[in-house]
Amino acid sequence: MPSPDKIYPRTGDTQTVYLKNVITKDSIEVGDYTIYNDFVNDPRDFEKNNVLYHYPINSDKIKIGKFCSIACSAKFMMTSGNHSMKSLSTYTFPIFFEEWGLDNKKITDAWDNKGDITVGNDVWIGLEAVIMSGITIGDGAIIGARAVVTKNVAPYTIVGGVPAKPIRKRFSEEVISELLEIKWWDWPEERIKRNIEAIKMGRIGELK
């Protein structure tokens, strides 16, 4: 049986990791078997290189489901990357409270807090895609390479572009509903193993 507890899922491949097992922060949650590939940097440095502006003061989180595939240099833009839009200036005065004699307890006024990033199960995030704060990506979605996701993505929807827009659904609405009900990613490992061929070949009838 596969082991979700090791770092590298493939012998001799140090560019691909089970992401859950290189995460150290409680504010980042990753499900079993989700992989991250990086051929530029060490994939074990995901927290440093791919999760941007993630400061404890905001208590914002990233939640990524099971069996996701995240490509090299995909970025997750957290709350502190959002300069306040209600301000007359985009300059982050509250951060530099010492310089301007401001209240040091109002640092978070410098940005808009749009909330957590939530990624469902079996999601594929393409090369250098950017996921903005507050975004929810549904199960089975595909994010195109270099897309900038500024709006929520529905389950089993392919999006691409800047800003990312829906391109098409992966399956019919009937099949999508069945997949969201089946939730094969929550099955025990042995059951998944028995049904891998049906999953690979799109034989949904065998999964019911």
Q: Give the phi and the psi of residue 184 in degrees, each rounded to 5.
A: -60, -25
Residues in the chain: 208
DSSP per-residue string spanning 170-189: SS-HHHHHHHHHH-GGGS-H
User: What does the buried/exposed string (b/e) look like for 48-79 if buried means 16 or more CB atoms within 10 Å of the residue's CB?
Assistant: eebbeebeeebebbbebbbbbbbbbbbbbbbb
Highest CATH level, class, for 16-78+114-170 = mainly beta
Taking the C-alpha atoms of residue 160 and residue 143, their distance in angstroms, rounded to an integer, is 6
Q: Using CA atoms, how far apart are residues 73 and 62, in angstroms rounded to an integer? A: 16
Sequence-ordered list of residues with C-beta below 8 angstroms from that of 10, at least 6 positions apart, any chain: 16
Question: Is the whole model's pTM more than 0.85, yes or no?
Answer: yes
Q: At residue 4, what is the residue type?
A: P
Determine which one of 83, 168, 191, 193 is catalytic.
Answer: 83
Q: Tell me: the pLDDT tens digits for 152-180?
A: 999 999 999 999 999 999 999 999 999 99
Q: What is the pLDDT of residues 35-83, one digit of tens each?
A: 999 999 999 999 999 999 999 989 999 999 999 999 999 999 999 888 9
Residue extents of the structural domains in the chain: 16-78+114-170, 172-208
Does 54 participate in catalysis according to the annotation? no
